[in-house]
């Protein structure tokens, strides 16, 4: 049985697992801040699970950011990687680097019962793309495309860096406040963990309120405890996620459905289900009917990025 290593590396955490017999095993989560480079993190992971380095057939790393060329610089952490130096250091013959949301999209093909919650009921339109979007340390966006004859292809992109859409006077005022601070205001500036805190601070600045919380988790906790101002901020987060998801559905023709993924939204799943997300998703004027019967799911699977990295790596292992 061939053994490979798969990794899903974000801005805050690196998730590693062994890939054997088309399954992930021995999952560990390591903070990226604790290691100077991915090679050291991988060596620490292998030592922790008792897997000798020389037994690995291949490695697939799903990385936040556009992948290409020999040197890869991670978007949201201090790591960088040279393919040639990485393979030489670890004694590897095969390294596959893919975008983290390529892996996330492929992970949607391996969801099990109970690993997604229906947000909007509907039926996937056969043969149409599916949108995968998720706030985490950043905002990831990818497309899952069904192939003739079966199977799927994941199309990576950098949709988190599109311009933040404005759909109301309040949103225009928040956007202007952020623009004075940031210049270009992309969707990720609001729709991410750090973005939630930025949204709270911008709202306080507009309304002349004192900032009383200092982390995204604290904003969420206050909202879930019923604090009215935090509730409205989190509601606005959900509205903006609906607007951005809806824009992507129209652009891609993603009538196959929408997967909401990432580490942020599942933390307030019940709030999200009752929020203005659905209304904002379809708030597209004369194109609102385009969203009739569009299914939307909130994904609660623990490690879909690792599963997707394994899916991406499997053809390489079978051809080796």
In this structure, what CATH number is given to the domain that contains residue 51? 3.30.420.40
CA distance 61 to 138: 18
Annotated binding site for ATP: 7-12
The per-residue pLDDT for 1 is 60
Q: What is the pLDDT of residues 127-157, one digit of tens each?
A: 999 999 999 988 999 999 999 888 999 998 8
The per-residue pLDDT for 114 is 94
Same domain, 286 and 313: no
Same domain, 278 and 307: no
List the beta bridge partners of residue 146: 152
CA distance 29 to 37: 15
Same domain, 101 and 158: no
Same domain, 160 and 276: yes
On the CB side of 277, CA atoms within 13 Å amount to 23
In CATH, what number is assigned to the domain containing residue 166?
Answer: 3.40.367.20
Same domain, 85 and 208: no
3 state SS for the chain: CCEEEEEEECCCEEEEEEEECCEEEEEEEEEHHHCCCHHHHHHHHHHHHCCCHHHCCCEEEEECCCCCCCEEECCCCCCEEEHHHHHHHHCCCCEEEEEHHHHHHHHHHHCCCCCEEEEECCCCCCCCCEEEEEECCCEEEEEEEECCCCCEEEEECCHHHCECCCCCHHHHHHHHHHHHHHCCCEHHHCCCHHHHHHHHHHHHHHHCCCCCCCCHHHHHHHHHCCCHHHHHHHHHHHHHHHHHHHHHHHHHCCCCCEEECCCCHHHHHHHHHCCCHHHHHCCCHHHHHHHCCCCEEEECCCCHHHHHHHHHHHHHHHHC
Same domain, 149 and 260: yes
Same domain, 123 and 257: yes
The per-residue pLDDT for 75 is 74
CA distance 91 to 102: 26
Same domain, 37 and 98: yes
111: in domain:
no
194: in domain:
yes
Quote the number of domains for the chain: 2
CA distance 291 to 311: 30
How large is the greatest C-alpha to C-alpha distance in the chain, in angstroms? 62
Q: What is the pLDDT of residues 75-127, one digit of tens each?
A: 778 899 999 999 999 999 889 999 999 999 999 999 999 999 999 999 999 99
Annotated binding site: 7-12
Q: CA of 57: how far to CAs of 29, 109, 283, 319, in Å?
A: 21, 24, 49, 12
Same domain, 276 and 174: yes
**Which range of residues forms the domain containing residue 140?**
116-299
Same domain, 93 and 120: no
CA distance 122 to 294: 5
Q: Which stretches in the chain have pLDDT values below 50?
A: none
The per-residue pLDDT for 320 is 52
- How far is C-alpha 185 from the chain's CA centre? 19
Same domain, 123 and 199: yes
CA distance 171 to 99: 31
110: in domain:
no
Same domain, 285 and 313: no
């Amino acid at each position: 049985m061939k053994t490979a290593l798969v990794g899903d590396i974000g801005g805050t955490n690196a998730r590693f697992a062994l890939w054997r017999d088309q399954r992930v095993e021995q999952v560990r989560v390591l903070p990226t801040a604790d290691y100077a480079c991915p090679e050291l993190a991988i060596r620490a992971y292998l030592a922790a699970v008792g897997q000798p380095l020389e037994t690995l057939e291949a490695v697939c790393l799903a990385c936040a950011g556009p992948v290409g060329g020999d040197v890869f610089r991670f978007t949201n952490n201090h790591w960088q990687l040279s393919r040639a130096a990485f393979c030489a250091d670890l004694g590897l013959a095969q390294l596959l680097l893919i975008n983290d949301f390529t892996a996330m999209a492929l992970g949607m093909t391996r969801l099990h019962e109970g690993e997604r919650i229906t947000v909007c009921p509907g039926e996937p339109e056969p043969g149409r793309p599916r949108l995968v979007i998720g706030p985490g340390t950043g905002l990831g966006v990818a497309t899952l495309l069904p192939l003739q004859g079966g199977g799927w292809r994941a199309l990576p992109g950098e949709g988190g860096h599109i311009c933040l859409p404005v759909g109301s006077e309040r949103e225009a005022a928040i956007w202007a406040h952020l623009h004075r601070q940031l210049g270009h205001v992309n969707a990720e500036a609001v729709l991410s963990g750090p973005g939630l805190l930025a949204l709270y601070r911008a709202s306080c600045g507009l309304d002349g309120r004192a900032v009383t919380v200092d982390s995204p988790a604290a904003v969420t906790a206050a909202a879930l405890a019923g604090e009215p101002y935090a509730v409205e901020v989190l509601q606005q987060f959900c509205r903006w996620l609906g607007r951005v998801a809806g824009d992507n559905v129209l652009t891609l023709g993603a009538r196959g459905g929408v997967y909401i993924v990432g580490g942020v939204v599942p933390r307030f799943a019940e709030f999200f289900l009752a929020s203005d997300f659905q209304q904002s998703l379809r708030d597209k004027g004369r194109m609102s009917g385009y969203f009739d019967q569009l299914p939307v799911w909130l994904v609660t699977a623990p490690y879909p990025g690792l599963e997707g990295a394994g899916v991406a790596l499997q053809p390489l292992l079978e051809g080796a």
